[in-house]
């Protein structure tokens, strides 16, 4: 059977922790989209591991698969694997031969395009990992796949077709000399790319790492293995269902768990689909955010009040809502129910996991954006255009806050030990979405998740 884990908001919902607690019962953990734009930290035996590509389960002795819907940067992959091996681990990672490869020129183009878009407020604030340009090449049928790395002749032919186009794009469209790019080096040099990527192919082959993901996983399920399908980012960052164009270039939503692994929709649909929700909202970078609290220079229009800024800072500090790399404060807001109704419909959640209930503790009142008003009418779900979303005025509901308690003790005692007002808040979310709460996160540590129902 399968369990699919999906972010219900804008990424950073704490999916890693949910995957971690539920994957205890899984044999194989599969990523179905995205690439090294997704960072997660795993703590095992007091050792901390920071990963962006290797599925976290691979640290715990499970098989980790990067499905065909992923975009794989072999440099990142092997750096992560080598570091884990240096620390005495032997991660078992398999890569779909149909997955697309991120090449150095994708990263360069990602950066240049973002710079260009900034003048028109269209920059998505990407992670700069080359994700968008790689998916663009996939759709444009000029991508290079993991399977191509295994055959030097095919690799050479693909590079000879695509690299001159990229050079032309850089010089003619962006006015940049491709040979002047220093970081990364040789990003537009066919011979250098060929040698480096051929060697990745040799290593993939030698270590038997590549799979036909659909066939491999279908057989594994028939053999009785339990498979977890792990989405990266969140539904509102989905290229089809998110706040376009401030989105990633893949489909984090659950439909991609089938397309991005090669498992049939009926196989995925017979399993559970768990939506991971953060008890408030956070957002990295630009774009509208109707339930935003306060404002942050250069990221928001600046309509917040001082009282809102104080609440925002309180949540931001307690929730550690600062960018891991830049230290930049993340924008925060109240939970947005239209966004969650949209995510529930799009993904077909069978259960939800709500994280960071502890972060809101100590607030006198906790609000939720229950609905929006748009053009004088009440809306219960997100409008289809991001411009309309930006015009939505939230209609709030208020809940009495809850005190800070010994959350470790609460997690030991279970759901009934949660403060009553927190339970009321969770009941509201669950009944509005008509989906049961499977888990509640009350702290950052592994044992600080209350499990009400285990999906496996």
Please give the residue ranges that form the binding site for ligand IMP (CB under 6 A).
11-12, 37-38, 124-127, 129, 131-132, 232-233, 237, 246, 248-249, 284-285
Could you identify the residue written with the tokens 């289809």? 384
Residue 140 CB neighbours (<10 A): 10
With respect to ligand IMP, which residue has the nearer C-beta, 42 or 426?
A: 42
Q: Least distance (Å) from ligand IMP to the CB of residue 396?
A: 25
Overall size of the chain counted in residues: 456
**119 φ, ψ to 5°?**
-60, -25
With respect to ligand IMP, which residue has the nearer C-beta, 237 or 382?
A: 237
CB 334 within 8 A of CB 312: no
With respect to ligand IMP, which residue has the nearer C-beta, 3 or 237?
A: 237
Q: Least distance (Å) from ligand IMP to the CB of residue 126?
A: 4
Alpha-carbon distance 21 to 439, whole Å? Answer: 10
CB 66 within 8 A of CB 97: no
Q: Least distance (Å) from ligand IMP to the CB of residue 391?
A: 21
Coil, helix or strand at residue 233? coil
Question: Among 345, 413, 349, 424, which residue's Cα sits nearest to residue 382?
Answer: 345
> Is 40 tagged catalytic?
yes
Bridge partner list, 64: 29, 93
With respect to ligand IMP, which residue has the nearer C-beta, 266 or 326?
A: 326
Alpha-carbon distance 9 to 340, whole Å? Answer: 7
Q: Least distance (Å) from ligand IMP to the CB of residue 250?
A: 8
With respect to ligand IMP, which residue has the nearer C-beta, 228 or 361?
A: 228
What tokens appear for 444 in the block? 């950052």
- Pair type for strands 2-7 and 47-51: unpaired
With respect to ligand IMP, which residue has the nearer C-beta, 93 or 239?
A: 239
| 258: exposed, middle or buried (Cβ count in 10 Å: 0-12, 13-18, 19+) | buried
Alpha-carbon distance 50 to 52, whole Å? Answer: 7
Coil, helix or strand at residue 14? coil
CB 258 within 8 A of CB 300: no
Cα radius of gyration rounded to whole Å, the chain: 22
> Is 241 tagged catalytic?
no
Cis? peptide before 320, omega within 30° of 0: no
Residue in 36, 40, 241, 358 annotated catalytic: 40
Coil, helix or strand at residue 124? coil
Q: Least distance (Å) from ligand IMP to the CB of residue 37?
A: 4
With respect to ligand IMP, which residue has the nearer C-beta, 103 or 232?
A: 232
Which residue has the closest beta carbon to ligand IMP?
A: 11
With respect to ligand IMP, which residue has the nearer C-beta, 216 or 246?
A: 246
Question: Among 362, 425, 361, which residue's Cα sits nearest to residue 397?
Answer: 425
Q: Least distance (Å) from ligand IMP to the CB of residue 249?
A: 6
Q: Least distance (Å) from ligand IMP to the CB of residue 236?
A: 10
Alpha-carbon distance 28 to 229, whole Å? Answer: 9
Q: Least distance (Å) from ligand IMP to the CB of residue 127?
A: 3
Query: What is the set of active-site residues?
Result: 12, 40
């Amino acid at each position: 059977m399968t369990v699919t884990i999906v972010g219900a908001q804008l990424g950073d919902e704490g999916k890693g922790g949910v995957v971690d607690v539920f994957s205890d019962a899984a044999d194989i953990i599969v990523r179905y989209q995205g690439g090294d734009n997704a960072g997660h930290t795993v703590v095992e035996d007091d050792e901390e591991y920071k990963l962006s590509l290797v599925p976290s389960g691979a640290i715990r002795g499970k098989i980790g698969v990067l499905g065909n819907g992923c975009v794989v940067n072999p440099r990142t992959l092997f750096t992560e694997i080598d570091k884990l091996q240096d620390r005495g681990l032997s991660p078992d990672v398999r890569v779909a031969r149909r997955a697309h490869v991120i090449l150095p020129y994708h990263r360069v183009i990602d950066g240049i395009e973002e710079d260009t878009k900034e003048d028109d407020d269209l920059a998505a604030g990407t992670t700069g990992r080359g994700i968008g340009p790689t998916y663009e090449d996939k759709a444009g049928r000029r991508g290079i796949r993991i399977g191509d790395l295994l055959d030097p002749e095919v690799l050479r032919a693909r590079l000879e077709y695509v690299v001159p186009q990229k050079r032309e794009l850089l010089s003619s469209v962006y006015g940049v000399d491709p040979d002047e790019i220093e970081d990364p080096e040789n990003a537009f040099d066919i011979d250098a790319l060929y040698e480096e990527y051929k060697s990745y192919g040799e290593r993939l082959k030698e270590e038997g790492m590549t799979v036909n993901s659909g066939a491999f996983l279908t057989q594994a399920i028939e053999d009785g293995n339990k498979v977890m399908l792990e989405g990266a980012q969140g539904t509102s960052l989905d290229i089809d269902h998110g706040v376009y164009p401030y989105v990633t270039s893949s489909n984090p939503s659950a439909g991609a768990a089938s397309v991005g692994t090669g498992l049939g929709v009926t196989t995925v649909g017979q399993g559970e689909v768990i939506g991971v929700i953060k008890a408030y909202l956070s957002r990295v970078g630009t774009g509208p955010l109707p339930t935003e609290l306060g404002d942050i220079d250069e990221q928001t229009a600046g309509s917040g009040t001082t009282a809102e800024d104080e609440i925002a800072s309180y949540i931001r500090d307690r929730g550690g809502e600062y960018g891991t790399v830049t230290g930049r404060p993340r924008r925060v807001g109240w939970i947005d129910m239209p966004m969650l109704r949209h995510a529930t419909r799009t993904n077909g959640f069978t259960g939800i996991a709500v994280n960071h209930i502890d972060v809101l503790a100590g607030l006198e009142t906790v609000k939720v954006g229950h609905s929006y008003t748009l053009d004088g009418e009440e809306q219960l779900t997100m409008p289809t255009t991001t411009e309309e979303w930006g015009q939505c005025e939230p209609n709030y509901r208020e809940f009495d806050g809850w005190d800070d308690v010994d959350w470790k003790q609460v997690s030991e005692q279970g759901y009934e030990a949660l403060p009553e007002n927190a339970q009321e808040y969770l009941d509201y979310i669950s009944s509005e979405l008509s989906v049961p709460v499977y888990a509640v996160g009350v702290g950052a540590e592994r044992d600080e998740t209350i499990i009400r129902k285990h999906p496996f």
